[in-house]
Amino acid sequence: MLRPCRLAVMAAVAAAGFALSGPSHAQTIRVEAESFVPPNAVATMGSGPNESKVVTVDQNASASGGFTIGWFGSWDWLEYNVTAPADGIYNMSFFYGDGDGAMDPLPVDLTFFTTGKQYLVGNIHPTPVSSPSWAFSNYTTVVAAPSDGAAPFAIPLKSGVNRFRVAIRPDFILAGAMNIDYMEFTKTADAYPALQAITGVVSSQIGGVSTPLGGAMVSDGPDYHTAANVTRTDGSGAFTLWVPAGSYSLTAFANGFTASTVSASSPSATNFSLTWNGRYEAELLDSTNTGPEVGNGDQPAYDTQHSLSNKGEIVNSAPGKYAEYKSVYAPADGVYDVSIHYSAMSAAVGDPGYLLWTVNQTSTVKAVYTATSITDFLTYQDSTAPALMTLKKGLNTLRFADANAGPPVTPSANIDYFTVAPSTQPHGTLKVIVTNSVNGNPISGANITIPAAAPQLTAQTGGDGSVSIPVPPGTYTVTASKSGTAGPVTAAPATVADGQTVNVPIQLTVSGVSVEAEDFVAGGPGVPPATITAVGSASNGKVVTGFTGSYLQGWLEWNVNVTEDGLYRMTLQYAVPPDGSDAIVHPVYPIDMTVSATPSTFHVNTSYYLDTSQIPPAKVPIIPRTADGDTYASFDLVNDSQAQALVPLKAGSNRVRISLASGTMNLDYLQFTKLAAYPTNYRTITGTIYGSDGVGSAPIAGAAVWQNNSTLHTTFNEAQFATTTDAAGHYSLTAVSGAFLNASVNGFIATTPYISVPAGTATKDVTLNVNPPTPPDTGTEKMDAFKLSIADTRLSTNENMITFTQPGAYFGWTINVPRSGQYQVGMNYSSGWNSGDGLPVKTTWTVNGVPQEVDFAKTTSWTDFQFFPSIATIPLNAGGNTVRVDFIDAGANIVYLTLLRTGSIPPPVSTDIDNSGKTDIIDAVIYARRLGGLEAGAKPDLTGDGLSNAADVARILRVAGGLN
């Protein structure tokens, strides 16, 4: 059913000088375990790193929200937001499964950064308790309490969004894991404790400049692990700690700095200035990967040993694993020695092991350590050969990865901490300068290798085409390469002495046109479609990250300008992160990519090829994975037969689109190199695609048009030439002579089998009929729900439905109808969100910019799909309409929509409510007062939806603002 839009009414009423309020009452707020959010600080202090790469999001039809969190174990943590309507006291409970029978109880820390409260939960037991097993599918509810039989924690929440962390923290004996379906907060009291705020900033003198330390921990007491009151600084180093009035001993800690303790009273302002000591605890990570067994759900290797520093926590390196630190400070630009405090076991003491350090994503250095024992990992020492690294003043990112071949060839290390200090080793500098051989311009992002160096070195040039590499005294051979150039070039050997800088010039021949990935001009349906990330080693210093088709059919577009017509090789400089595959939707191949180019409307799918040598034939990915999301490689576009795909481009501006049906990739740049002349047998066909319901007809926006083969009947994704219509239904398609066309769009029947376009025909219009669905909705237009035009990235789609909807999430469609009018919306969906609570799923539908609220009933479970023929009535114009759905409360899995025209849209009514001769905000206030029963008077239907509601207030405001 429809209800007035609450937000618009409240805003208008507030403008008139009135406030809305209601009685307080107990309530329960559910937080789905899968709705975790990224950390909101520079450094992630505490146990971690524990991102989505570590835990798993598992489909579970019987679970709340349809998903659970799995593999949530020792050293893992996840962060969440819970929105409280007002200050209050809450109990918290977990709906969880824990089959780890040997671990009783599972120690869990709850940290509420918004209020600064931390709790140790001690009553999470294996399920079922009576017969411990490894059955993590047995779920039960436990209220967070310090121990069995103890009173639940009284957790204060502030009004609005509260950020909290759930961490599983074993000691030397206890460990374990659990699966979580959801957490709930139940309000027990409106009375809020009398808390006072201690605020301040944590900073340090870095190179003589006061530098804020983001992600530092501030706790009541010397140990943030166990403190009852603890908070974290934001990116500007600021913190707020809510505590009862009184005196406190506060400690501030940041990795790489000496902790500082001061006395403070609440309320007060207390600042900390920490001293850099260059010692970084290895376990305080920003990110990591799980190593080569990620598919098996293995966790990153952490351990506890009481003899070590900072609670005895270490990081274990092993082949295929890495650990990353984004908050490594340096007091000045320069060369530093980086040493590890470690243990390593091998066949003989002194056996060599190797760590590959990556510095600011621009260079790598291979460091050597030696085995410390042949019997155990309890003997620790400092590495005797520190790695030479160039660090910039302030914040640096360091990553180390195990570079060993694996036991028994070389040892792996348990790393307690690493130290960073200005270098005292003899060293010189190789300054490599890479330029264009034609015009002498610098070439950024060129790959530099020094294979004969000991240790081995790699680097990438910056924006000025140069990079400085510290090396021990000696003679070195330097090679430079970059995609889009004629090939790698090796300079003459260069000899460098202690304290000396030697220039190494190298010229590369550029052979194509480059387009930076971050210069995309359009994208969707996810909003934002991708993230632009600063990476010093990248071409132009930036890359696109998080470009995904794992949950949505994601796409990006670029303008590509070439000087002449031709067939061009397209090369991607890309990286496929280790977690790039979507195990739920596409378990076989990580990337399902389609490339399109206009005005030549070239179209190629490159996902996998069928390896018929295997029995049965297997799908093999065409786009290979890279070592990780920061290791970039080149890929020349091929089709799904592994044949080279040359893109036809016209002189001037061309629009190139990459869309992903599955997988996730990062992109540095796109390279286009002309290899052949433009074909002479290409011709252009233009026209308009119309939609008809047998009574009316209108142009269709976003219709797919492609060249077919009369024998094979190719689909849009298989077609070499394909395009889509614009907002007016027009298309322009390049095709070979003797073309056959097909057209399709959501809600209409595709042309079957094809349309012949005789040679010499330059224009061809096509009419599609509405898609009549099966009973019970005969006679209406039927649309697949998952074909979205915009979407929140928290959503998920597959070839059947939209899933993972939740409060705050949204999506949208372009809906085409042949005639304008009022349309009754039917929907096939399921909703097991708190099923049985008697409350509806609450949404706001914004149709062509005008919002209205739509409530619809929940079903009995997430697997109970039902068709409801009338959940709303919306006004639609002939042709394309933009419709956005925002979830206000609860969620639903949506399979399809139906649209049944029930009448015409009434003519517009005057928005001048007070008859003043103009439409302004006063008219909106008067209308809102009448809606709220605060004033008598007419409430005309201004939108044609048949109702007097907040949509009418919104229309008045749009007219007053000159938008309508």
Write out pLDDT tens, residues 664-689. 889 999 989 888 899 888 888 899 99
DSSP string, 789-813: SEEETT-EE-SS-EE---TT-EEEE
Instruction: List all residues 6 or more positions away from 296 whose beta carbon is below 8 Å from its beta carbon.
Output: none
| Stretch among 315-319, 490-494, 545-549 having the lowest mean pLDDT | 315-319
Give the Cα separation of 254 and 203 in Å (integer).
10
The residue-averaged pLDDT of 640-648 equals 85
CA 388 – CA 789 distance, rounded (Å): 50
Report d(CA 459, CA 623) in Å as an integer: 24
The pLDDT, as a whole number, for residue 75 is: 64
Biggest CA-to-CA distance, the chain: 95
Query: Rounded to the nearest 10 degrees, what angle do helices 950-960 and 921-931 cross at?
Result: 170
CA torsion angle for 230, 234, 237, 239 (degrees, to 10)? -40
pLDDT in tens, 178-204: 889 999 999 999 888 888 999 999 999
pLDDT band at 955 (very low <50, low <70, confident <90, very high): confident
Contacts with 302 (C-beta within 8 Å, 6 or more apart), sequence order: 47, 74, 75, 283, 313, 314, 315, 316
For residue 402, name the pLDDT band (cuts at 50, 70, 90): confident
Q: How far is CA 471 from CA 266, 358, 387, 426, in A?
A: 53, 15, 10, 9
Position with higher pLDDT, 157 vs 376: 157
- pLDDT tens sequence across 11-31: 332 233 322 223 344 578 999
Spatial separation of the C-alpha atoms in residues 39 and 163, rounded to whole Å? 9
Helix 6-15 / helix 921-931 crossing angle, nearest 10 deg? 110
Whether residue 702 contacts residue 690, with contact meaning beta carbons closer than 8 Å, is answered with no
| Mean pLDDT calculated for residue range 472-477 | 92
Q: Note the pLDDT of residue 20.
A: 27
pLDDT at 261 > cutoff 80 = yes
What does pTM read for this prediction? Answer: 0.62
951 versus 274: the higher-pLDDT residue is 274
- Beta-bridged to residue 608, according to DSSP, are 621
* pLDDT category of residue 613 using cuts at 50, 70 and 90: low
Which among 178, 173, 259 is positioned nearest to 216, based on CA atoms? Answer: 259
Q: Which of 625, 575, 570, 573 is nearest to 595 (CA)?
A: 570
- CA dihedral 142→144→150→156, nearest 10 degrees, is -140
Helix H or strand E segment including 159 = none
Do the Cβ atoms of 90 and 189 come closer than 8 Å?
Answer: no
Query: Mean of the per-residue pLDDT values for the chain?
Result: 81
More confident residue, 911 or 837: 911
Q: In the prediction, which pLDDT does 3 show? A: 30
Q: For residues 179 and 302, which has the higher predicted lDDT (pLDDT)?
A: 179
Band (282; pLDDT cuts 50, 70, 90)? confident
For a pLDDT cut of 90, what percent of the chain falls above it?
32
Q: Which of 725, 743, 746, 786 is nearest to 899 (CA)?
A: 746
DSSP codes joined into one string, 890-948:
S--EEEEEEEEEEEPPPPP----TT-SSS--HHHHHHHHHHHTTSS-S----SSSSSS-
Q: What is the end-to-end Cα distance of the chain in Å, rounded?
A: 26
Query: Tell me, what's the pLDDT at 285?
Result: 67
Comparing 717 with 873, the larger pLDDT belongs to 873
pLDDT at 133 over 60: no
Give the pLDDT of residue 152. 95
**Percent with pLDDT over 70 in the chain:** 83
Instruction: Return the top range by mean pLDDT from 441-450, 511-520, 684-693.
Output: 684-693
pLDDT band at 900, cuts 50/70/90? very high
Query: Comparing C-alpha atoms, which of 565, 622, 915, 917 is closest to residue 927?
Result: 915
How does residue 444 score in pLDDT terms, banded at 50, 70 and 90?
confident
pLDDT at 6: 27
